[in-house]
Chains A and B, each alone.
Chain A
């Protein structure tokens, strides 16, 4: 899955955090490579935010190691913070300062000189479409605008790696898509590696190339999207549902012999067929050849949602 040339940006080794006897993060091993947009999925309370906080050096791990670009997050937090950006879930700004002043403050904390600050702040606000309201108080901003301001905040810093904690929560559906596209664009233009946490799959699916699903502090599955499907369902990424007039064992055998079929399951007059690609023509032929009548045939490819739900049920 990983090319040797790709540089490891985020790495955790047996990362564990215990709060009051609860293992919030439990022996987490995570690797994110340069240029990835990594979707960090999991239900609320799965330990996503805690993991991010440990990676940023804001929280100390109970055991294990977290590092970013080779810097140990616990021992060298300042170096880590210099190259990483963070957008917390409930992103906050100073409401009684203007958008420009809010961003300029963060820019100065990063040691940028005054000329660079004003230039970068202006540009960043332009990129996220907030140039018109640059001198308005942030207190007057809507939730969506604040989220975009948070992206501008990242841009001012232009970190190597950015952690976005639930960047789409609380925005309307149209805003969500704009937000995700903005994140993807910003990441591409600035060669940022993005770790995006969310509990909403279709958001993650839209822009992430890799995902990891975290449940109760453990990564239950991690990898490229199509790979995940195969791992989760014993091989088949396509599920074909066939309704027949009558099911004979001959038909089942015939179908099983088709190249690419992973499994066949019988339930009533339905046959559930798992396969690696869309094999409807071959299956239809097999049914007709065996002399049975084909009543109905449906195909579905797995959305991440199914994978996700499957893992949630298992836990």
Chain B
């Protein structure tokens, strides 16, 4: 345990001190503020349904695809990838790995500590973005969130951390399998791009391709997360299945929290499963890997 905490503390300090984190954070914050600003332009026209005024801060942009959700959907993977793409192979190429592993700690402490530090870093980042936006919103509209809205935001936050953890796990997976830092970064980004294209697919699917759209929807982490985020933050949103069946994105009447959670549940489980699979593969590979003389 003490080994895990040592690795965790060191990696966390590294993350928060690194330029890449500071740049990411500033960028994320700037873009969220921008997204909120755009959304807020519409908020006065849109407030027809008074139950979810506060949530509309995050979701109203006059269109069916709320800007803030889209931004988080596309941006969180980048954070995960940037935090994880060189986790293992940079230690290997700089020669610190064999020194580290010759210390009396279990080998999995190294990978667990790194993963945990990445997750906590992302949690801090996402929580502060959501809170900063909330603070700004409070000033702008002067309406405090209701308890239901707060619950929805918390669930959304937890989901986005899990989503980020999936990408972190994926990036770490590549950093274990690929020797070069640049290759592993590119590989993770390629996967990210691929899923973004897949994300667009259901929206442009021809009627006959609905089945393919459904498959993509169920495996693509980007689509899964977007679905969860939309269902949580736009209480009237419909699932992609419904969209694929009938076409159109126009929200129907709002669902209560319990119903939203029920419709979110399968997607959330898929996301968690993807994250666990990614991390498990990395873990096994890392544990079995032999240190070789070069």
B290 cross-chain contacts in A, Cβ below 8 A = 58-60
- Residue picked from A19, A78, A82, most chain B C-beta under 10 Å: A78
- Chain B nearest Cβ from A25, distance in angstroms: 11
- In Å, the complex CA distance between A245 and B282 comes to 78
Within 8 A of B (CB), among A69-106: 78-79, 81-82, 84-97, 105-106
A87 to B98, CA, bound (A): 9
Chain A residue at minimum C-beta to C-beta distance from B18: A96
**Count of A-B contacts with CB under 8 A?**
77
A residues within 8 A CB of B99? Answer: 86-88, 91-93, 106, 153
CB within 8 Å for A49 and B103 given contacts A58-B98, A108-B6:
no
Chain A's closest residue to B17 (CB) is A96
- Nearest B residue to A108, CB-CB: B6
- Known contacts A86-B98, A91-B99, A109-B105: A53-B3 contact under CB 8 Å: no
Contacting residues, chain A, for B98 (C-beta < 8 A): 53, 58, 86, 88
> Provided the pairs A58-B291, A105-B6 are in contact, do residues A90 and B104 lie with their beta carbons within 8 angstroms?
no
Within the complex, what minimum Cβ distance (angstroms) separates B9 from chain A?
8
0/1 interface trace, chain B 97-133, chain A, CB 8 Å (1 if under): 1111111111000000000000000000000000000
Q: CA separation between A108 and B4, bound complex, in Å?
A: 11
Q: Are B96 and A93 in contact (CB under 8 A)?
A: yes
Query: For residue A93, which residues in chain B have a CB less than 8 angstroms away from its CB?
Result: 94, 96, 99
0 or 1 for each of B252-294: is its CB under 8 Å from A? (1 = yes): 0000000000000000000000000000000000000011111
Interface-centre pick from B18, B97, B104, B294 (highest chain A CB count, 10 A): B104
> Of A59, A85, A106, A111, which one neighbours B2 at CB under 8 angstroms?
A111
Most buried by B among A56, A82, A88: A88
CB of B126 to closest CB in A, whole Å: 25
Verify if A140 is at the interface (C-beta below 8 Å from B): no
B104 near A110 with CB under 8 A, answer yes
**In the complex the two chains form, what is the Cα distance from A140 to B95 in whole Å?**
16
- Determine if A50 is an interface residue (Cβ-Cβ < 8 Å): yes
Contacts of B291 in A (CB 8 A): 53, 58-59
Contact between A92 and B96, CB atoms less than 8 A apart: yes
Complex CA gap A162/B293 in Å reads 17
A56 to B98, CA, bound (A): 10
CB contacts (< 8 Å) of B293 on chain A: these are 49-50, 53, 89
Flag if B292 contacts A109 (CB, 8 Å): no
CB distance from A9 to the nearest CB of B (A): 16
Known: A60-B290, A92-B95. A78 touches B106 (CB 8 A): yes
Residues of B within 8 A of A50 (CB): 292-293
Report A126-154 CB contacts with B as 1/0, cut-off 8 Å: 00000000000000000000000000010
> Per-position contact with A for B80-106: 1 when CB-CB < 8 Å, else 0?
000000000001001111111111111
Q: How far is the CB of A154 from chain B (nearest CB, A)?
A: 10
Closest beta carbon of chain B to A112's beta carbon, Å = 10
Q: Report how far A87 CA is from B100 CA in the complex, Å.
A: 11
**Chain B residues with CB under 8 A of A97:** 14
Mask for A14-26, Cβ within 8 A of B = 1, else 0? 0000010000000
Q: Is the CB of A94 within 8 A of B96?
A: yes
Binding site for B on A (CB under 8 A): 19, 49-50, 53, 56, 58-60, 78-79, 81-82, 84-97, 105-106, 108-111, 153, 157
* Besides the known contacts A88-B95, A94-B96, 9 further A-B residue pairs in the complex with CB atoms under 8 A apart: A53-B291, A53-B293, A58-B101, A78-B105, A90-B294, A92-B97, A95-B94, A106-B103, A111-B2
**Residues of B at under 8 Å CB distance from A?**
2-3, 6-7, 10, 14, 18, 91, 94-106, 290-294
**7 A-B contact pairs sorted by A residue (CB < 8 Å):** A53-B293, A59-B290, A59-B291, A86-B99, A89-B293, A106-B99, A157-B103
